[in-house]
Amino acid sequence: MNKKEYIEKLESLKLDKNRYCIISGGVMLLYGLKESTEDIDIKVRPNYFEELKERFKFKKSPKYPYLYELDESTEVAVLDYKEEDIRYVDNYPVESLELQLKWMIENNRPKDQEKIKIVKEFLEKNKDNEGI
């Protein structure tokens, strides 16, 4: 999905922007570092996840122990996060590119190798801009 489709789908979920953050491909999409992404990946704290379970039916994902599928194009990581690791891009909460890069390097998935290069180049080019 392109950026417009991504935002429309995200908005349709009616999530509290103060209680989640976008992770994975959505971060790169909102920063303009990629043209499209396959799905929406968000991170929520356990207490918000408990509330979301009253609104949505989740399926446990086989990928990671903390990951749940909301539908075919939305995954929810139930993990704590720090507010200082959140940035706002187009008024949407995203996990910092630095943390995204760290995760991609640690997991070293073949599909992330090109993304790692793109994020490193972007961060280097914008190293003087606080809050990227």
List, edge to edge, every strand of the sheet that includes 92-95. 59-60, 67-71, 74-78, 40-44, 20-23, 92-95, 86-89
**Residues 12-38 as b or e (16 or more Cβ within 10 Å = b):** ebebeeeebbbbbbbbbbbbebbeebe
As beta bridge partners, residue 95 has: 86
- What domains sit in the chain, N to C, each tagged with a CATH number? 3-96 (3.30.460.40)
Per-residue pLDDT 10s for the chain (132 aa) are 999 999 999 999 999 999 999 999 999 999 999 999 999 999 999 999 999 999 999 999 999 999 999 999 999 999 999 999 999 999 999 999 999 999 999 999 999 999 999 999 999 999 877 667
43: helix, strand or coil: strand
Compute φ and ψ for 77, nearest 5 degrees. Answer: -95, 125
